[in-house]
Amino acid sequence: MIVKLLKFAGLALLALVVVLMERTMTYRSKQEKVKPVAHIRVSTDCFTHLSEAVKFRTISYEEPKGCDTLVFEGLIHYLQATYPLTTSLLHPQRINKLSLLYTWKGRNPDLKPMILIGHMDVVPAVTDSGEQWEVPPYSGLIKDGAIWGRGSLDDKINVIGILEAVEILIKEGFTPERTLYLAFGHDEEVGGRNGASKIAEYLVNQHVKAAFLLDEGLVITSGIVPGIEQNVALIGVAEKGYASFELSVTAEGGHSSMPAKETPIGILAAAVSALEKHPMPSRLSVPVQQFLDYIGPEMPFFYKLAFANRWLLSRLVIATYEKSNAGTAIVRTTTAPTIFRSGTKDNVLPGYASAIVNFRILPGDAITDVQTHILKTVNDSRVKVQLSGHFSEAGEISHVDCPEFLVLEKSIRQIFPNTLTAPSLVIAGTDSRHYASITDNLYRFVPLIAGPDDLKRIHGVNEKMSCPNFINCICFFRQLILNSNK
């Protein structure tokens, strides 16, 4: 009997190994071979243009009153003067006073337009960590082969890079078949409700349906994807949703010499702690599965084995992600208590305590799911729970099996040879979500090569754009516009 059982177990194990190996060996590469194109000569004036753009302190503040409209006016006039051909041919239109929409009419009205977007505003240069900049943050200094300053990466590189490319194309005598819109919002860093949202509204009123849209988001990573030596261009095909909930407790206050067994602070602290200890379940959402399928076949054997056999090993893959906070953000709806308020004096019991908990929501989870999760986890009727501030659902997932995605991949490989491409999930929010009703294909990708140190500079100190990287960026936008017209 035992021998029979052992034989059976042995056979089952063998069958399992065969299946695992079969799937690993037939895990086919999705990386199309593309011939690189020769880079065009780009005038070094482009460095001065980005540097000058950085000098405009177009800072977004949470309160709309904080917006310095004169600085935005300055930048807009600078753009119009610096790119005279683009200005005269694409007629930039003001949307809601400070956002810009350029239109390059295509010859073929049957082709759906493409939209390239960027944002002109930046976050303040002072960071919470108090770290100091090596150069004044709005100096736009060009030193050590880079353009320094707030906005040089996020996101004036897009605005200036796109305008440089269009100006070059006009000089080359190019005329598009497909209509091209350039849309530059002025308040992305505070949600885009006055900029991108209004531009999108305008386009909807004009009945515009676009083939695709390209916005900031992910980059070409260098030395970041484990197990891969090549650079990997990550193309955001979805972004996480956003919601904050206020949790509050009201009770009788009084003298601290005679406290009740439980006080608002204690009750609320327990609720927040329960939420931290019991986050929403982790899983591999569709964009992450797509990422694994594009990258897996290029990886060393054991990674490949795990990625090709997610039907059995998905928990192992998820556990690998969960080793870091950044990885965890990719596989679950995250829970982040960000504000806690209560009490006024050390000998007075507060009658009220409130906390804000911010959730970044995985595609497939809805804001109502988060609310249900909070109520179930806190499980205390004394804690009131309500949605607070602005929120957005995780949007739809853009297509990857379509000509638009292929054109994007091709343009990347033509300008950045030996680069792998992969769909991916953006864990932050971008302006692109406002355009969801205009196109099913929202892609979030900035054509710049970035290592771990560069990513820290975005919204951090010492933001800078390397000069060769910026040239590549301009070449990429030019190539993308050309390819989209074939």
Binding-residue total with Zn ion (CB under 5 A): 3
N residues, the chain? 486
Comparing CA positions, the residue from 60, 49, 202 lying closest to residue 125 is: 60
Least separation, in Å, of the C-beta of 463 and Zn ion?
11
- CB within 8 A of 10, min separation 6: which ones? none
Which DSSP category does 167 fall into? H
In a 3-state reduction of DSSP, which class is residue 295?
Answer: helix
Least separation, in Å, of the C-beta of 402 and Zn ion?
26
Least separation, in Å, of the C-beta of 404 and Zn ion?
22
Q: Where are the alpha helices (DSSP H) in 94-152?
A: none
Query: Is the CB of residue 444 less than 8 Å from the CB of residue 234?
Result: no
Nearer to Zn ion, 154 or 409 (CB): 154
Q: Where are the alpha helices (DSSP H) in 337-402?
A: 367-378
Site string for Zn ion, 448-467 (x = CB under 5 A): --------------------
Nearer to Zn ion, 185 or 296 (CB): 185
Nearer to Zn ion, 154 or 239 (CB): 154
- CB within 8 A of 37, min separation 6: which ones? 414, 415, 479
Binding test (CB under 5 A) with Zn ion, winner from 99, 116, 138, 155: 155
Nearer to Zn ion, 357 or 426 (CB): 426
Nearer to Zn ion, 315 or 390 (CB): 390
Q: What are the Cα distances from residue 274, in Å, to 269, 278, 298, 299, 369?
A: 8, 6, 41, 38, 17
Query: Is the CB of residue 156 less than 8 Å from the CB of residue 53?
Result: yes
Comparing CA positions, the residue from 92, 58, 63 lying closest to residue 74 is: 58
Interface region with Zn ion, contact rule CB under 5 A, candidates 37-45, 66-74, 147-155, 369-377: 147-155
Least separation, in Å, of the C-beta of 445 and Zn ion?
13
Kindly report whether the peptide bond that precedes residue 121 is cis, defined as omega within 30 degrees of 0. Answer: no
Interface region with Zn ion, contact rule CB under 5 A, candidates 123-131, 146-154, 241-249, 445-453: 146-154
Interface region with Zn ion, contact rule CB under 5 A, candidates 148-156, 301-309, 412-420, 433-441: 148-156
**Number of other CB atoms surrounding residue 216 within 10 Å:** 26
Interface region with Zn ion, contact rule CB under 5 A, candidates 151-159, 242-250, 306-314, 384-392: 151-159
134 in catalytic set: no
167 in catalytic set: no
Strands 352-361 and 334-342: what pairing?
Answer: antiparallel
**Number of other CB atoms surrounding residue 197 within 10 Å:** 20
Confirm or reject binding of residue 164 to Zn ion (CB under 5 A): no
Which DSSP category does 284 fall into? -
Least separation, in Å, of the C-beta of 185 and Zn ion?
10
Query: φ, ψ for residue 264 (rounded to 5)?
Result: -55, -40
Nearer to Zn ion, 190 or 475 (CB): 190
Nearer to Zn ion, 155 or 167 (CB): 155
In a 10 Å sphere around its CB, with 0-12 CB exposed, 13-18 middle and 19+ buried, how is residue 207 labelled?
exposed
Site string for Zn ion, 180-219 (x = CB under 5 A): ------------------------------------x---
In a 3-state reduction of DSSP, which class is residue 467?
Answer: helix
In a 3-state reduction of DSSP, which class is residue 96?
Answer: coil
Nearer to Zn ion, 151 or 241 (CB): 151
Least separation, in Å, of the C-beta of 464 and Zn ion?
15
Site string for Zn ion, 23-62 (x = CB under 5 A): ----------------------------------------
Query: In the chain, what is the straight-line distance between the N-terminal and C-terminal CA atoms, in Å?
Result: 70
Least separation, in Å, of the C-beta of 154 and Zn ion?
4
Which DSSP category does 190 fall into? G
Confirm or reject binding of residue 154 to Zn ion (CB under 5 A): yes
Tokens of residue 229, six digits:
């030596």
Least separation, in Å, of the C-beta of 155 and Zn ion?
4
Interface region with Zn ion, contact rule CB under 5 A, candidates 154-162, 302-310, 343-351, 443-451: 154-162
- The catalytic position among 154, 187, 188, 365 is 188
Least separation, in Å, of the C-beta of 151 and Zn ion?
9
- CB within 8 A of 452, min separation 6: which ones? 223, 224
- The catalytic position among 121, 155, 239, 463 is 121
Nearer to Zn ion, 155 or 239 (CB): 155
**Positions marked catalytic:** 121, 188
Binding residues (CB under 5 A) for Zn ion: these are: 154-155, 216
